[in-house]
Structure 1
Amino acid sequence: MFEQTGTSPIAIGRRWRFKVQGLDCQNEVRLLREALIPLVGDERFLSFQPKLGLLDVDVASGLTVEAVIAAVSTTGMTAELDGQSGISKDAAGADGCRSCSGEPAPVAQALPDHPDGVIFEIHGMDCGDEVAVLKRELGPIVGPENLSFDLINGRMSIASGADLSLHADILRAVERTGMRAELWKEGERSAGAPEEQRRRRVQAGLTIASGALVLVGFAIHARANGFAAVLHESLAREAHPPVLAMLAYSLSVLSAVRYVAPKAILAARRLRPDMNLLMLVAVAGALGIGQWFEAATVAFFFALALALEAWSLGRARRAVAALMEIAPDSARIRDAAGVEKDVPVAEVAVGTHVIVPPGGKIPLDGYVVAGTSAVDQAPITGESVPVTVTQDAVVYAGTINGMGALEIVTTRPASDTTLARIVRMVGEAQSKRAPSEQWVERFARIYTPVVMALSLAAFLVPPLLLGGSWAAWFYQALVLLVIACPCALVISTPVSIVAGLTGAARRGVLIKGGVHLETPARLTAIAMDKTGTLTLGRPKVIEIIPIGTRSESELLSFAAAVEARSEHPIARAILAIAAERGIDVVPAKDVTAVPGLGVVGKINDRHVWVGSAIYLEQRLGGGDSEKLTTALKRIAGAGLTGIAVWESMTVIGLIAVGDAVRPEARLIVAQLHALGIAQVVMLTGDARAPAEAIAHETGVDEVYAELLPEQKVEAIERLVAQHGLVAMVGDGVNDAPAMARASLGIAMGAIGSDAAIETADIALMQDDLSQLPWLIRHSRATLTIIRQNIGFSLAVKLVFGGLTLLGMASLWGAIAADVGASLLVVLNGLRLIDRDQQAR
């Protein structure tokens, strides 16, 4: 785009080039525009390359580098002059989309794709708390801005800007957290995967053993002292358990804290209390006052909560992995000698001929070179009706062939198919956290130390000021510690977000982050492009108007005969309706195209013209002129194009052609209004007459016609000023500027368009407008479940907190309530994965 000079940092003509840490998506472009336009005076003086993290600013009188850097800093990003005009690897996507995630610090969120970055697989990283621990340990070594995490896939990325020679220090830092790291490369099986599976089996076994030992200890204890003595804390202090019961309880505790203790000790050493430390203190305190049963119960239930959290994340991981598993592992190829053989899909080169048998899965993206079949695209797009494919039709990996054999030529390697990109984006989207998820994390970060302080106060204040029993209030302080554990609260939101993203992907709706999952629920207005969005984007015969003695069938058969061998879109529309009405088309003879006028051919030795109605009107005289003129005016008023059919010197009729409205468009617009969308607006570059006709037919509230791309942006800005949150729905390419300016960009029919997938915040993979109201309902369902989970978690804590202050709660009851809450919120969140299937 710009010429390189390679010397001065302001060497691009009269421009400064800045590297902007954190600039990697259109949301941040929008923030920078708002901050810089008042400074530079005009948007034309700014140029952005978000994929490279670059900002170019025209040098203006009175403008200083310091002023630009200060303006950028107001957005939460940082800028520095780029010493080169070439691509900056540091800026090439290493930072996460902070304006999307709302984080105050420039912490990377998505896995970088530049070659000099390093990706580690982290064994034992199962929750957001462990991500926070890794950030604290590794931040001082490699810089927090160079770290990014993919919790779904269990990976940590370190950008090329870090000192990658510190490999050993990185591995040791991860080891200190109780986790383990190994280098990860795409397509290679993790060497530590078997060991990680063993660790999970051992952890599950120890958790089961802990629970079993609690039951054994309880049975021995109850037999010796009675059930009341075990369950009532005041009696329990007077009736110590037998030695065998204490042994069983001790073994239960040791089994449960095997994987908790290292993390708790690290938190204590770093003076950063977390849930692990909180639980370990509670267990140690219970043992200290002789509450053996309750100490063992707390330890077991907390281990169970950790196992539950790992299971919920594993469930989400498996749901994402299931997307990739729908593509076969091998493909049957045909080599240059005509020999067929099965090879792994990873080894199939672009341009290879692949044979897909009837009923088989298509292994790679490609196009059909032989055969006809119906392909079930539901695994990719969610479309329930199979799509008929013939020669030159595009097909996608993971879709299912029907009853006809197909031969395709591959167009993408296995690592870059549409399916592979969807899977990657679903994984990366999880790291762009939603506002509710960020709120929960910030809340928990403050909440845990505050709770520990309150527990200390509950232990000290009543005995010192009210004369309470030290032992009794120490016990109540431990109960408060346990019930205040934010485990259920912390895991509820990310599980719901991941489930919502995965459920949408299974429907064929690709959402690029939790922030974009929540936005549709709060939309107040939606702007739509006309062509290809509200309409099908291709001509269709709307009306056939005979003039004279010919019938509609005769008029249509003449027009189809002349257009039989034409590839023009209008010709295809005429042939399509002829086929629909069962008219046998015999191609005309001596067919000739007359530029600007139409096509002429011979039918039964008579010349028949099909073409411009306006030209024919100018040439025609006689009694039919008035009737023809009236018909043409009516067609033009409806926003349609009139095609005249002229036999010899007589017009025998008109065919009205227009961009066909989607059959479901009116219903969709009505559904959007019913969902509370106040304004549905059409933005189009088309003429006003056809635009208004389409708007009237679909029920759109307002029309902006004859717009250039920059005028669409201005229209979006007005809508944002009037209504707040506004979505722009388009094809992701021509409408990209307007989509970038809108609160939410939604691309229609993105399955065949790389640009659409990359441009939009949400990509509707199939060409189906009905996904739009579904998306709003899905977003609202996600928010509802998140609010239910947060409210339920806090309500449980408030109830048990009150019982604790009244002296009516017990340790085992508190931990049982907390684990029960964790289980319920996880199961509630996971409903979003299968929500669409349940609805069907």
Structure 2
Amino acid sequence: MKNSCAAASHCSNQTQSEGSSIEKNHNPSACEYTQLTWLISGMDCPSCATKIENAVKGLTGVNRARVTFATERLLVRAENRANIGDDILTTIEALGFSVKDDRSSEFAAKSFLKKYWRIISLALVMLFAVLIQEALPAVGNVLFYLATLWGLFPVAAKAWQLARNGSPFSIETLMSIAAIGALFLGETIEAAMVLLLFMIGEHMEAFAAGRARQGIQKLTELTPETAYQIDQKGNKSEVSAHILKPGDIIEILPGSRLPVDGELLTPGVSFDESALTGESVPIEYNAGERVMAGALSVDRVARFRVISRPGESAVDRIIRLIEEAEERKAPVERFIDTFSRWYTPLMMFMAILVAFVPPLVFSQPWGEWIYKALTLLLIACPCALVISTPAAVTSALARASRNGALIKGGAILELLGSVTTVAFDKTGTLTEGKPAVTQIVSFDTSTLSPEQAVLRLAAAIESGSTHPLAKAIVASADEIKISLPVAEGVEVKPGLGVQGLVEGKIVVVGSPRHLQGSIDRIAGAQHKREQLEEQGNTIAVVTVEGHLVGFIVLRDNPRTDAQSAITALNTMGIKSVMLTGDNPRAATAIARQLGMEYRAGLLPGDKSTEVEQLKNEGRVAMIGDGINDAPALKAADIGIAMGSGADVALETADGALTHNRVEELPALIDLSRSTMTIIRQNVFLAVGSKAVFLVTTLLGMTGLWVAVLADTGATALVTANALRLLRNKKKG
């Protein structure tokens, strides 16, 4: 059914009033669908997200639905019809979840009362019933019946709604059957206790989920909703940050955060980036430098030119990658998801056999075996098993994000722990990525200022490039105020060089290997090149009409944290290899300084080939930051981009070091190993407790409330064990 755009507009107005947002479709021909977004409250574990997702997918008119547990966001692609938003909201609320709105304090208070009033009142009624049970047993028994019904109503209602929406074997279903069965058997105390313990267990899961999401929630709160925009006449007005576009001029006050990525226009402003990078000391930026969204101005009013589109700032990109990460589950997590889908129906079938076979075949008492069957149902609750892996993975991903590393899912997290080799790009990864011109060697004696003539030609060709070496050359020319001629027909050849037409002549700035023929025609040029490269320098060769006119000598120093990262990896038994397009002599100097292997003189395709060869020795992780690194990042078992790198590198990679510190990598690998250890412990605790209480139940040693207490206890244990990953602070 095709709907009009007017219907889409009506739908947008309705859903936004309920706390949702609309992602606009810029394709006019595709106006039959719209994208709706809500923030959901009440999800205790990833299985809650799955329940909402399945229910919304089942609605007529919904094309796609995705729930992200980490950010509590529901994204729906649905038909443009007036009541589609109402249908979705009704379904969410029927499942027992809520939609967040902008009245945060009022919402929090209502949410608190709604969550805890029923459990507190249930506990009080049960306590009163216990106190009067001996004196007035009939009254006490009635109170236990009432307490059970009071606790059962929301659980059974949710079970019924889940069954209608495609989840008939939910935990709520098992609890409802057990509680109703216990009432029919006259076990009122145990029926009420089962529900009370179940509710407590749910809130423990909610607490764990909240702890795991804290770091991500703080990230979403870093960027303000409004900004002060400066118009062409210099007038200032407060506007929504969502309407800002590249080129707009904005102003932030001291103590305020930047809502978007921006180019600083005010010189000498200090910013607190501790929430983004973990650095406690404010960093001073100069005019023209890029500052990330979320940075806090420390000392003065600052003006910026907006450089990021709505929803595409550094913070938005990190949040988007976190949401995508949930779709890439670890193999062990996918196995447990699959296992739990048939485990619960199987246990329900076993409970039916336990209830009917002994009485019918062996003439055993019906009451005794029905009671055992109900206990078996509670033991069958897969709470502890289902949460064992996602609780650990969510905690690990949250901690990694807090410490400056973003991993796209549990699958990548699991692989990291088995890495045997790490391949590093050099420029911008192992080095600062801020090379500077240290010397100019001219082979042209026809001008009065031969060094400046070489720099003038090179800067003209490189003026439009974003490569670190090109920017260093242009900056050097600007520093001595050289007037640059216009370069025409500039052509970039990745890994080789740049060429263009300057003042009617073909000028090429490239690598020595690419221009070796021109070097060989000048006496002494090759010797000079070797001498400079042995000192750890990078050489840019400049030719005019094929004739060598000079060398531009650049140097990029190693990062201060690179040495500690390589040392830590060596201690962990992991080999480090530098892959660079730089010359072998400069690469040797850097590699010796850092204590690692290297492969030099590589083109982008060569890096991929080297990664493939390294994979023959074991699992390989590749770290890079440039466009040239994208193929190698893709070829590696795990590709990790530097957070300040090119967008294509970040999109290709499986993770990112958002704080731009390679020293986070060893800690990340150690976190992966710790996570897998905790997952194995959690699975053992969850499955082991089930096995023990299965035996004790069939032997008649344990009853309903002990079974649910054991399940709640196992859930608490695996949750607490997983939360240790959050408390495990990074070293140093």
Cα 1:170/1:493, change in 2 over 3 Å: farther
Matched, 1:119 2:36: yes
| CA shift for structure 1 position 746 | 0.7
CA distance in 2, matches of 1:404, 1:193: 31
2:44–2:203 contact (8 Å) kept in structure 1: no
Aligned to 1:708: 603
| CA shift for structure 1 position 528 | 1.6
| CA shift for structure 1 position 709 | 1.9
Pick one of 631, 635, 641 that aligns with 1:741: 635
Aligned to 1:662: 559
Q: Secondary structure at the match of 1:252?
A: helix
Cα 1:592/1:318, change in 2 over 3 Å: closer
CA distance in 1, matches of 2:481, 2:251: 40
Cα 1:349/1:117, change in 2 over 3 Å: closer
Q: Which runs of 5+ in 2 are unaligned?
A: 1-21, 27-32, 440-450, 463-467, 486-511, 541-550
Matched, 1:273 2:191: no
Matched, 1:254 2:149: yes
Aligned to 1:179: 95
Aligned to 2:282: 386
- 1:137-148 mapped onto 2 (5 Å cutoff): 137=55, 146-148=64-66
- 1:7-86 mapped onto 2 (5 Å cutoff): none
Deviations 1:565-593 (A, max 9, x none): x989999999x9xxxxxxxxxx9999999
Q: Which moved more, 1:337-346 or 1:780-789?
A: 337-346
CA distance in 1, matches of 2:378, 2:140: 23
Cα 1:810/1:713, change in 2 over 3 Å: same
Q: Secondary structure at the match of 1:768?
A: coil
CA distance in 1, matches of 2:167, 2:156: 15
Aligned to 2:295: 399
2:265–2:303 contact (8 Å) kept in structure 1: yes
CA distance in 2, matches of 1:753, 1:692: 26
Q: Secondary structure at the match of 2:328?
A: coil
CA distance in 2, matches of 1:761, 1:392: 31
2:432–2:557 contact (8 Å) kept in structure 1: yes
CA distance in 2, matches of 1:266, 1:411: 47
Matched, 1:326 2:222: yes
Aligned to 1:804: 697
| CA shift for structure 1 position 384 | 4.0
Aligned to 1:791: 684
Cα 1:140/1:655, change in 2 over 3 Å: closer
Cα 1:570/1:242, change in 2 over 3 Å: closer
TM-score by length of 2: 0.75
Pick one of 119, 140, 157 that aligns with 1:245: 140
Aligned to 2:118: 206
1:171–1:180 contact (8 Å) kept in structure 2: no
Aligned to 2:652: 759
Q: Secondary structure at the match of 2:628?
A: coil
TM-score by length of 1: 0.66
CA distance in 1, matches of 2:197, 2:588: 64
Matched, 1:671 2:568: yes
Cα 1:280/1:672, change in 2 over 3 Å: same
1:371–1:405 contact (8 Å) kept in structure 2: no
| CA shift for structure 1 position 482 | 1.4
| CA shift for structure 1 position 806 | 2.7
| CA shift for structure 1 position 490 | 1.4
Pick one of 367, 372, 387 that aligns with 1:491: 387
Q: Secondary structure at the match of 1:734?
A: helix
Aligned to 1:781: 674
Cα 1:493/1:332, change in 2 over 3 Å: same
- 1:197-596 mapped onto 2 (5 Å cutoff): 198=110, 201-221=113-133, 223-224=134-135, 242-266=137-161, 272-340=168-236, 342-346=238-242, 348=244, 350-412=246-308, 415-463=311-359, 468-539=364-435
Pick one of 682, 685, 691 that aligns with 2:581: 685
1:732–1:739 contact (8 Å) kept in structure 2: no
Cα 1:820/1:332, change in 2 over 3 Å: same
Cα 1:672/1:112, change in 2 over 3 Å: farther
- 1:627-638 mapped onto 2 (5 Å cutoff): 635-638=532-535
Aligned to 2:711: 818
| CA shift for structure 1 position 641 | 5.7
| CA shift for structure 1 position 425 | 2.7
1:149–1:155 contact (8 Å) kept in structure 2: yes
Aligned to 1:31: none
CA distance in 2, matches of 1:338, 1:119: 37
Deviations 1:428-465 (A, max 9, x none): 42243222322221121121112222223333455566
Amino acid at match of 1:744: I
CA distance in 1, matches of 2:472, 2:48: 60
CA distance in 2, matches of 1:592, 1:482: 79
1:210–1:251 contact (8 Å) kept in structure 2: no
Cα 1:166/1:713, change in 2 over 3 Å: farther
Q: Which moved more, 1:144-153 or 1:437-446?
A: 144-153
2:159–2:176 contact (8 Å) kept in structure 1: yes
CA distance in 1, matches of 2:580, 2:80: 50
Cα 1:264/1:705, change in 2 over 3 Å: same
Deviations 1:300-358 (A, max 9, x none): 11122233334443444554222122233443444444444555534555434333344
CA distance in 2, matches of 1:419, 1:136: 29
CA distance in 1, matches of 2:621, 2:251: 42
Aligned to 1:608: none
Amino acid at match of 1:821: A
CA distance in 1, matches of 2:481, 2:175: 89
Matched-pair identity in %: 34
1:500–1:833 contact (8 Å) kept in structure 2: yes
CA distance in 2, matches of 1:258, 1:499: 33
Structure with more relative contact order (C-alpha pairs < 8 Å, separation 6 or more): 2
Amino acid at match of 1:390: N
CA distance in 1, matches of 2:262, 2:683: 46
Cα 1:139/1:354, change in 2 over 3 Å: closer
Q: Which runs of 5+ in 1 are unaligned?
A: 1-110, 225-240, 544-558, 577-586, 594-611, 644-653
- 1:68-107 mapped onto 2 (5 Å cutoff): none
Amino acid at match of 2:582: D
